Structure 1
Amino acid sequence: MGRISETVKILLIANILFFVGSQFLGDYAVKMLALWFPENANFGIWQLVTHMFMHGGISHIFFNMFALYMFGSVLEQSIGKNRFIFLYFSAGLAAAGLQILFTYLKFNPAYQNLIDAGIDPGTIYQSLGRAVQSNQYQFFPGVSQDTVMQLTDAYVTPMVGASGAIFGVLAAFAVVYPNLPLYIMFIPIPIKAKYLIGGYFLINVYSAITGATILGPSNTAYWAHIGGAVIGFITMWYWKKNQFNRWN
């Protein structure tokens, strides 16, 4: 373990402060700072950034910050502060954007099914508003329970965490140090970064497409992970290809 780089240190402190503060503010912090679906009344444009500093629990923030420390410091020392900041936040924003896109792809067809069943928009949004407050589904005659659950889950589930930005860091690390041997805990066999991080990315792609959870909780925002990783990879690949390793 080397020294913590400047930006990584600031990000670690900011994430920890947000986490501690959110424990005191509770639901209010989630309402204001988590990233809500744009159709939800709780949505605010600032949440595209603030959600990166919110986390759902001790294990969530621990693993994200551990990965940021282990890979982020080395990466920042290689590419410089300004580029690291750009990569981190662009990956986080891309993660949010892709997750929102796929949430719309779930929400819109389900919403249209309710409209086709003769349920007016006002009634639909009233039921969704109550779901935000009570976390309960309101079912309608002539509409399948799966459709209602798909619509409601898309509307009421906020996005939190730095995972998208972290995946951008991981992907960029694999571009800069593709053959660096890494170790998984309890497995004393070195695996090259490009294979370990690439394999982790493919697991997330599989989970995003199939809905099957292999690593992490069932409500993991897999598309956010993918969006962050893709931007991190493309950005670092472009820099490495065009800047002749002159990062600063």
Structure 2
Amino acid sequence: MDVYIRKLIQELFNRYGYRIVEFGEIAGLSSSWGVVKSTGDGTQLFFFSDLESNDSLDINKVVQYAAYNFQLKNIRPIQILVDKKLHLEIGTDGEGYLNHKIYPQCELILINNVDNKILYYSKELENEVHEVANSMGIMESERNEISKTEKSIITYLLIGVNLLVYAMTAYLSGSIMDSDINVLIFLGAKVNELISSGEYYRLLTCMFLHGGIAHIGFNMYALSSLGPLVESVYGKIKYIFIYFLAGIVSSIFSYMFSTDISVGASGAIFGLLGAALVFGVKMKNAVGKNFMFNIASVIVVNLILGFSMPNIDNFGHLGGLIGGIAVSYFFMKSV
């Protein structure tokens, strides 16, 4: 609660020039912090309470404290009651009613801090509520960004590992634009002769190597676009299995059907495309036909481009797609 109030106060200060004030020990306040804003005919004093503390609140004491300690005149007290238990309930007549009886002593704003919604405000507070609502919207955007990052942590870790390996490759190659083929072989590229001689680890390590800045840039863009979706749908553990197993199947296909040296995360990324396609088929009634069409279109276009351009490991892409479909289909059977 206190963290939410502090963030709201900070946004009002940053964006609308509210002055932050600190109250002493006053019964009925849920936070020792508040804000004030000067107007043409006085000063608006915003203070915070919750349902538990509201019964012991005495507005006169709050105003007297502010007048004496902050040297304020013509104070207009505005109470912001913040509580997760506050909700609007719809009655039989279709009207919305608060689930708690509130007896205002001054102008009032009611906020549910979990839903981050303003449930009620005194009609005289239109301008002030607009500023509070905008501040709450900024807080929600920041919270969503944090939540998105937390939900996609495996994707960002994979991107980080790929970038770190590329930085090492660029250093050893003496160029950030193109990777030296001998450096790639040294670091674990897919080389059929070496795999046949027992260096099976190359089926895995080749997934984190890239041939140049454009190669890793394209793959990491694709991973950042597609990874969070698959990670949120399947969960982190299954996502890891899909990514790595699809990547290994991609390497096996490349080893079986292509003699070229091969590197890149694209096989694993094609596996994520396969996982997204399986999810779309399984949940077609929920996600709609457009979702499946878009995923299928991306797969088809990339395969066509791959087979029409030189130096593309098409068998690796196809293996990754098949591996991703197979693994995610197994996982989705239990969904």
Q: In structure 2, which of residues 240, 262, 283 is the aligned counterpart of residue 85 of structure 1?
A: 240
| Counterpart secondary structure, 2:308 | coil
Q: 1:49 aligns with which of 194, 198, 204?
A: 204
**What's the CA shift for 1:170?**
1.2
Q: Does 1:159 align with 2:159?
A: no
Letter in 2 for 1:55: H
1:6 alignment counterpart: 153
Report how far residue 196 of structure 1 moved: 3.0
Taking a change above 3 Å as real, the CA distance of residues 94 and 53 of structure 1, as seen in their structure-2 partners, is same
Same amino acid, percent of matched pairs = 30
Q: Which amino acid aligns with 1:236?
A: S
Deviation of 1:51 (Å): 0.7
Is residue 109 of structure 2 the alignment partner of residue 17 of structure 1?
no
Encode CA deviations 1:100-155: one digit per residue, 9 max, x unaligned: 1112xxxxxxxxxxxxxxxxxxxxxxxxxxxxxxxxxxxxxxxxxxxxxxxxxx3x
Residues 194 and 212 (structure 1), Cα distance of their counterparts in 2 relative to 1, 3 Å cut = same
Change (3 A) 1:43 1:158: farther
Q: Which runs of 5+ in 2 are unaligned?
A: 1-143, 174-179
Q: 1 or 2, which has the higher helix percentage? A: 1
Q: Is the 8 A contact 2:273 2:299 kept in 1?
A: no
Distance in structure 1 (CA, Å) of the matches to 2:196 and 2:251: 18
Which residue of the partner structure matches residue 60 of structure 1? Answer: 215
With CA pairs under 8 Å and 6+ residues apart, which has the higher RCO, 1 or 2? 1
Query: Which residue number in structure 1 is paired with residue 311 of structure 2?
Result: 219
Range with bigger deviation, 37-46 or 76-85: 37-46
Aligned to 2:193: 38
* Corresponding position of 1:195: 293
Q: C-alpha distance in 1, partners of 2:291/2:315? A: 22
Q: How many residues align?
A: 176
Equivalent AA in structure 2 for residue 194 of structure 1: M
Question: Are 2:195 and 1:29 aligned?
Answer: no
**Pairwise CA distance, 1:59:** 1.6
Q: Distance in 2 between matches of 1:201 and 1:230?
A: 12
Deviation, structure 1 residue 50: 1.1
Partner of 2:279: 176
Q: Structure 1 CA distance, aligned partners of 2:167 and 2:185?
A: 16
Question: Is 1:230 aligned with 2:328?
Answer: no
Structure ID, larger Rg? 2
Aligned partners of 1:225, 1:67: CA distance in 2, in Å? Answer: 14
Given that 2:249 and 2:323 are in contact with CA atoms closer than 8 Å, whether structure 1 keeps it comes out as: yes
Is 2:206–2:262's contact at 8 Å kept on the other side of the alignment? yes
Coordinate RMSD, CA, aligned? 2.7
- Tell me: CA distance 1:100–1:41, structure 2 relative to 1, closer, same or farther (3 Å): closer
Contact 1:37 1:43 in 2 (8 A): no
Residue of structure 1 in register with 2:225 after alignment: 70
TM-score, length basis structure 1: 0.63
